Structure 1
Amino acid sequence: MISAELVRTLHGVPHGAVRGRQGVQWGFAVASAPAALDVHDLDTGERLRSFPRPVPLGPGDRPQEAIAPDLSYAVLIDAEAVHAVEPGGRVRWSVPVGRSHGDIAGCAAAHATADGAVVWAQIGEAGDAPADERGERPDRTVAISAADGRLLAEAAYHGNQSPVLLPHPDGVHMLFDQEEWCGALRIGPDRAAEVTDLSGSIMLHIAAPSPDGSLLMSVEAGWTLERRSLPDLRQLALMDDDALGGGALAAPPGFLDADRVLATVDELDRAAAGGAEAPVQHLLLNAGDLSRIGSIAYPAGTPGGPAMWTRPLGDGTWLTSAEDGDLPVRRWRLAPR
């Protein structure tokens, strides 16, 4: 039996830090609020910084925003621009965003690099690019100097729906994943951003980069996991068909540590659940070959049971967010055996 042990209840950490794919950055919880972007400590739950917005978010706006690793600035996105904002509210620079496919919530994302020197941002349509037969222009992705807002590189391509950005451990590539495809970006010569398509022929999506530089990837339907190399997409491991026990991935899995992957699985056997909502199970997998280690049992009486949302932190601990938003975020580790 694999048992979970409660590390801490984090009353101050918003649930969005667990549920959003960019909700944890550089060891901090990041949560977008209408008037500010808040940063919370994952050891105490306390709010460490609050970066005020130049323009408040509108109803339904949920851009994927970013912080510098040293918290010296945040990257805030509204319907007009991407802004680098310092803790006191000073706007370091702003870059206009283009028309988006729908609203800014689904079409804008930003992330800083590990050294904090560069901000990558996917910011809507490139207004000066030719339109296709539907009148749509390709979307614009830019690399920006965090110090002064200079444009370092840019690329234009179609399909910028619900983007997220994930820094690669090599410090060179910025990974992106969105509804229609995924890829890797890097700064090339002559201000061109080099784009590598990582979707393959089976609509792969990036779940998480491995500490060793390979990519944990899922097939679009969520039935299986693979580990592939970057940039050639060579398959390094494939999860067995029965590893999920007949269920499907409920959310992108992640690395509990360098050796283990934590996955949340939606069970499909509703009859066994008495017709109720299918139960959720948290599974441990070997990172090397993606074989199943076993399911995680939580202490009896844990409110919310195995939570729908998990966020592995890479240090052997993970966060959970229950379906009931009134329950707090919790941080767990594996109990000694």
Structure 2
Amino acid sequence: MSITAQLRDSVRLPGGGALVNGFAFESRGDGSGRALLRNGHELEVHDLRELFAGERAPTAVFPLPWPRWEHGVHSVSPDGTFAVFSGQRAVRAMGKGGETLWEYRHGCWGPELGHPHTGDEQEVCRGLEHGSCRISDDGRLVWAHVVAEPEPGGWEERWVVLDARNGRELARLPLESAAAGSHHLSHPDGVHMGLSIGMGQDGVLLHWARRDGGELTGWDVNEGLDRILADVHAGHPGFLTVDHYGADLQLHALDGTVIAEQEPESADDEDEDETYWDYACGFVDADTVIASTVDSDEEPEDARHWLLDAHTLRIRGVVAYPTGPVDSYVRPLGDGTWLTYDDKSETLNRWTRSAPGTS
């Protein structure tokens, strides 16, 4: 079945591809979304609603504390007054004026244990490994995935919770991981935080945690799993994951119990090539999931986006775009719309389903 898409908004946004193929999109519990885009030595913040309404200027601009450090997943406070950066050897909070508000030092993500540093804070050590951070939706806490050296020559990855006012460590959880990278996902309930840790060919680890008072309670859902944490939605009790190699999508309860599962389908009955899901997928709204099989299609004109039932993951149909095939990843916004990006024109497009009876 074919489901026709309707173009809602379109805006030229250089670098906007990181919104659909990366971690530049930051959603909030109130349903809003922001773009956190690196531009030279600065991090530009765009409110998506304002951007599509015609406001081209960023709502906030933060200088990068380590301009030569190109990794890590950063976060901006709900009111846009400060940003927290995940660096190679520290987590740092900065104001819009460029002032350092606080810094939480940690071990070096560089893969060589015990390697020396010159003392220059702008030094970037060998390796692509990195952590991530996320400011809570109430702006009070900072969750960060860091590495520590509990003893000389030792190595331990940790999940820490910091006071957003001063960077003081409030709680920590040791992690049994060897990360290539990670990202956080804030649950819209304002209580739970998810952490997805990619370890390259060694797979993916997935953790959830909550902080009740001064206590941090965490649990992993890694038993027999190798799954990427994809999305959550305020109107849905579970969370969505995709298999590390795209074999299936799964819907889980918060404790990790699998509620539904769906393998990919080919839009062409005669296509004998293996089809697999991309990692980019999520909730269009509380009842609908969108997922893509762009990477498994060798030709751009064969790229496919699919709409699924958010409760059963049953495939409803393939998306038909009025402009022709769209070979972009997708970023659902949870409000009934989703984003794609055209690399050639540097255009960010926002789509929705056409009303019944229209074409």
TM-score for the superposition, normalised by structure 1 = 0.86
Select the residue among 275, 285, 296 that pairs with 1:257: 285
Cα deviation code 1:199-222 (max 9, x no counterpart): 231323321123323111222221
- 2:89 paired with 1:69: no
Specify whether residues 130 and 183 from structure 1 end up closer, same or farther in structure 2 by C-alpha distance, changes over 3 A only.
Answer: farther
Partner of 1:197: 220
**C-alpha contact 1:114 1:167 (8 A) present in aligned 2:** yes
**C-alpha contact 2:18 2:24 (8 A) present in aligned 1:** no
Partner of 1:4: 5
Partner of 2:64: 53
Cα deviation code 1:58-99 (max 9, x no counterpart): 3xx221110112212111233342111122222211111311
Q: Give the Cα–Cα distance (whole angstroms) in 1 for the partners of residues 275 and 7 of structure 2.
A: 26
**C-alpha contact 1:122 1:160 (8 A) present in aligned 2:** no
Specify whether residues 335 and 137 from structure 1 end up closer, same or farther in structure 2 by C-alpha distance, changes over 3 A only.
Answer: same
**C-alpha contact 1:15 1:321 (8 A) present in aligned 2:** yes
Q: Give the Cα–Cα distance (whole angstroms) in 2 for the partners of residues 101 and 227 of structure 1.
A: 35
Cα deviation code 1:217-267 (max 9, x no counterpart): 222221111111112x2221122x464656211223110011100101137
**C-alpha contact 1:256 1:318 (8 A) present in aligned 2:** yes
| Partner amino acid, structure 1, of 2:47 | D
| Partner amino acid, structure 2, of 1:315 | D
* SS across alignment from 1:43: helix
Q: Give the Cα–Cα distance (whole angstroms) in 1 for the partners of residues 295 and 181 of structure 2.
A: 26
Q: Give the Cα–Cα distance (whole angstroms) in 2 for the partners of residues 313 and 290 of structure 1.
A: 18
Select the residue among 209, 217, 221 that pairs with 1:185: 209
**C-alpha contact 1:8 1:332 (8 A) present in aligned 2:** yes
Aligned-residue sequence identity (percent) comes to 27
- 2:143 paired with 1:142: no
Partner of 2:118: none
Q: Give the Cα–Cα distance (whole angstroms) in 1 for the partners of residues 84 and 35 of structure 2.
A: 15
* SS across alignment from 2:293: strand
Select the residue among 164, 185, 189 that pairs with 1:170: 189
Q: Give the Cα–Cα distance (whole angstroms) in 2 for the partners of residues 162 and 307 of structure 1.
A: 25
Cα deviation code 1:283-322 (max 9, x no counterpart): 000001000111111113x5xx313211100001111123
**C-alpha contact 2:62 2:95 (8 A) present in aligned 1:** yes
Q: Give the Cα–Cα distance (whole angstroms) in 1 for the partners of residues 192 and 327 of structure 2.
A: 32
Partner of 1:128: 150
Specify whether residues 129 and 140 from structure 1 end up closer, same or farther in structure 2 by C-alpha distance, changes over 3 A only.
Answer: farther
Superposition deviation, residue 9 in structure 1: 1.5
Specify whether residues 86 and 244 from structure 1 end up closer, same or farther in structure 2 by C-alpha distance, changes over 3 A only.
Answer: farther
Partner of 1:329: 348
Partner of 2:130: 107
Point out the more displaced range, 282-291 or 241-250.
Answer: 241-250
Specify whether residues 242 and 100 from structure 1 end up closer, same or farther in structure 2 by C-alpha distance, changes over 3 A only.
Answer: closer
Point out the more displaced range, 281-290 or 104-113.
Answer: 104-113
Partner of 1:41: 47
Cα deviation code 1:271-294 (max 9, x no counterpart): xxxxx4682101000001000111
Partner of 1:19: 21
Specify whether residues 188 and 57 from structure 1 end up closer, same or farther in structure 2 by C-alpha distance, changes over 3 A only.
Answer: farther
**C-alpha contact 1:39 1:50 (8 A) present in aligned 2:** yes
Superposition deviation, residue 57 in structure 1: 3.1
Q: Give the Cα–Cα distance (whole angstroms) in 1 for the partners of residues 308 and 257 of structure 2.
A: 20
Q: Give the Cα–Cα distance (whole angstroms) in 2 for the partners of residues 251 and 312 of structure 1.
A: 13
Runs of 5+ unmatched residues, structure 1: 271-275
**C-alpha contact 2:184 2:196 (8 A) present in aligned 1:** yes
Aligned residues: 318
| Partner amino acid, structure 1, of 2:4 | S
Specify whether residues 24 and 140 from structure 1 end up closer, same or farther in structure 2 by C-alpha distance, changes over 3 A only.
Answer: same
| Partner amino acid, structure 2, of 1:327 | E
**C-alpha contact 2:290 2:332 (8 A) present in aligned 1:** yes
| Partner amino acid, structure 2, of 1:69 | P
Partner of 1:273: none
Partner of 1:282: 305
Runs of 5+ unmatched residues, structure 2: 112-125, 199-203, 268-273
Specify whether residues 35 and 334 from structure 1 end up closer, same or farther in structure 2 by C-alpha distance, changes over 3 A only.
Answer: same
Specify whether residues 6 and 111 from structure 1 end up closer, same or farther in structure 2 by C-alpha distance, changes over 3 A only.
Answer: same
**C-alpha contact 1:168 1:213 (8 A) present in aligned 2:** no
**C-alpha contact 1:126 1:156 (8 A) present in aligned 2:** no
Q: Give the Cα–Cα distance (whole angstroms) in 1 for the partners of residues 17 and 9 of structure 2.
A: 15
Superposition deviation, residue 24 in structure 1: 3.0
